[in-house]
Structure 1
């Protein structure tokens, strides 16, 4: 693993945060966002209970999918920033969310994305006339300090759920607890959370773990110690500077990247708590272990909705979203345990049913596959869901494409969706 910044990161200095959500600006922004991402088809399907059958093809939508409140807010703020600062350079730290279509739209509006690898170098060249958008994942404290030092205006779109996790890990540091963070060490959110786990004084500690194998290794160390150098080599830069497993696993608090698979995070919490209890005894362990539920509510809803959908017969599952979207990836993991599942970025990935371009989580690359279920003329039920960063228009495009490849034109699909959504008189 490589990733979160391991050097001490003091709390960010006061930044020039600006409010761009004025009524006149937001009226324009909301109209523009709706033009880009709204789907009448999806709205009608939701009214109809999420099911549409035309001919031998049935589409079943998950109850909860697509944009969550935090994503909608981040997009609104980014659009508003471009309108308010029309005559100034507006920069974005990486991606506003993990969806290529949304980020493409922002680039076309003239918002300049700074790649993660160039954050520090580029920010150091900005001046007070420049505007910096902080994405929904948040940003590391060292980056916020640079922005403050340069005097830039800041439009902060950090999700409220992410900031709740920051509050937790800061509290751990203040009490002398090490934060064990369940997440992807290179993910922007985990990097930002890790920097807050250093505490306001910069002397706190963190350890990022991803898999249950990682957790079991840590739990063995908690119970009986082990080879310190081997531990540090295994976790590389996924620990804070000066991290010593012989010292810093004595008192631990668990937190997580908000978009992780809920069941895995809960299992991680259980295993770490058990390890501390085995080492210290149940009573003392109460003083040396803390945990709080920090999974994003929208992530939970989308995972729970998919589990509900999988209780009914499905032939194929399509999961739509950006390949680097953590919460979308976990939907794919849930689906592929039950039935043929294709992780597609857009409807363009459905070139034909013998030529489906999709992302393989195990290969960590795109590949092309064939679906005999979709390609035949027999009745087929297709489940569709999407991550919290996927707009409804991409879900609509996917549904239309499935029907078209099955021989039903778009006009007929739209008409039938409107009919089933109409209230019964």
Structure 2
């Protein structure tokens, strides 16, 4: 593993980022100041997943290795694995894809985990499985399994189509497959659930709204009697807490003040929370703009963008290539859900302070590249 970690570091480490961190997270070059959040970039779970993927290539040099979807939500990291001969299966492979696997194949399960049926089907093919699932994700699985065993429906705060949420939902069915779950995206959807719990909802409208976000056979009249809140580990903590409070109050209102039929466990990923807290701290500084670096499909990175947008101009970029010029930037608009080009993004002022953060799936070398590009556009010497 020491050789593996050395190779990983050679691909993703940044001496510049480490130097800035060692200087209190601040660097000044000429009239440009760069401030880094205290916590950003790779977390332990991501590092472990990448290390295991690299190790799999070394341990099985002559075997065909497949990865379920993406190891993490960062295109540069996934491209690096592809260059090492690790092929990508669909995150939710069709039966034909699984049947094409051979007993001598190696299959990597990503950091988000995978659905129970998918893993079982791969095992049935006789494949060697390298499981890189994050420990924080497995902690959530433990809670939703407990809910299923006690006939408690898991209400999962997350994105219904996200790999992690789908994996968690499959565990919420329990070992007998008779458990139930409901996925809510935000407080707006939660309000609809609360209304139904209080007896104000329409069943057909409810099931139509959540048609792709509940377990088979889910009946809100039956399965919202006892609920337990869980979450996709990369969601915004404040929103998860708000959703938990809304559902708890709805149960109390229905049950004459009792919350016996409600349970909640704090399962927000520690690294996700650290990065959100660190960004709040960075935003207390005097900044002219914020760059958030990471994969556009990264949930925890998207939430950093949401936090930043509330206070100052915030630009969500995949890497330094998005900084097209001092006038134009290519960035991801989280509201339109597409990549756009905006002009006039870089303020033309004598002293400019740029804040930078990144999600848990962004390597430091991409942050270094972005810093160097900023300095280049400002005409500074790095």
Q: Please indicate, yes or no, whether the TM-score normalized by the shorter chain is above 0.5.
A: yes
Equivalent residue for 1:361, pick from 327, 334, 359:
334
Which residue of 1 is the match for residue 320 of structure 2?
347
- What does residue 333 of structure 1 align with? 306
**Contact 2:68-2:92 at 8 Å conserved across structures:** no
CA drift of 1:237 comes to 1.6
Offset from partner CA, 1:244-279 (integer Å, 9 cap, x none): 001100000000000000000000000000000000
Matches of 2:201 and 2:9, distance apart in 1:
56
Q: Alignment partner of 1:282: what SS?
A: coil
Counterparts of 1:25-424 in structure 2 under 5 Å? 26-116=1-91, 118-283=93-258, 285=259, 287-371=260-344, 374-409=346-381, 413=382
Tell me the distance in 1 between the aligned counterparts of 2:251 and 2:100: 47
Preserved contact between residue 333 and residue 339 of structure 2 (Cα < 8 Å): yes
Contact 1:181 1:206 in 2 (8 A): yes
SS in 2 for 1:369: strand
TM-aligned CA distance change 1:119 to 1:399, over 3 Å: farther
- TM, length-normalised to structure 1: 0.89
Q: Which runs of 5+ in 1 are unaligned?
A: 1-25, 414-425
Secondary structure of 1:118's match? coil
- String of CA shifts for 1:275-328, please: whole Å, max 9, x gaps: 000000233x2x200000000000000000000110111110000000000000
Contact 1:119 1:143 in 2 (8 A): no
RMSD between aligned alpha carbons? 1.0
CA drift at 1:375: 4.3
- Contact 1:63–1:305, Cα closer than 8 Å, also in 2: yes
How far off is 1:151 after superposition?
Answer: 0.8
Distance 1:375 1:313 in 2: 14
Residues 194 and 250 in structure 2, CA contact (< 8 A), matched pair in contact too: yes
Cα displacement string for residues 329-377 of structure 1 (whole angstroms, at most 9, x for unaligned residues) = 00000000100000000000001121100000111001111235x3414
Instruction: State the SS of the aligned residue for 1:352.
Output: coil
User: Normalised by the size of structure 2, how large is the TM-score?
Assistant: 0.98
Structure 2 distance, partners of 1:132, 1:235, is 32
Q: Deviations over 1:48-77 (max 9, x none)?
A: 000011111100000000000000000000
Change (3 A) 1:242 1:225: farther
The CA distance in 2 between the partners of 1:179 and 1:27, in whole Å, is 40
Residues 42, 396 of structure 1: 8 Å contact kept: yes
Q: How many residues align?
A: 382
Is the CA contact (8 Å cut-off) linking 1:57 and 1:380 kept in structure 2?
yes
CA contact under 8 A between 2:43 and 2:271: conserved in structure 1? yes
| 2: CA distance, partners of 1:305 / 1:34 | 24
Distance (whole Å) between structure 1 residues aligned to residue 311 and residue 203 of structure 2: 40
> Does the CA-based 8 Å contact 1:56-1:377 persist in structure 2?
no
Quote the Cα distance in structure 2 between the aligned partners of 1:309 and 1:120. Answer: 47
**Structure 2 residues without counterparts, runs of 5 or longer:** none
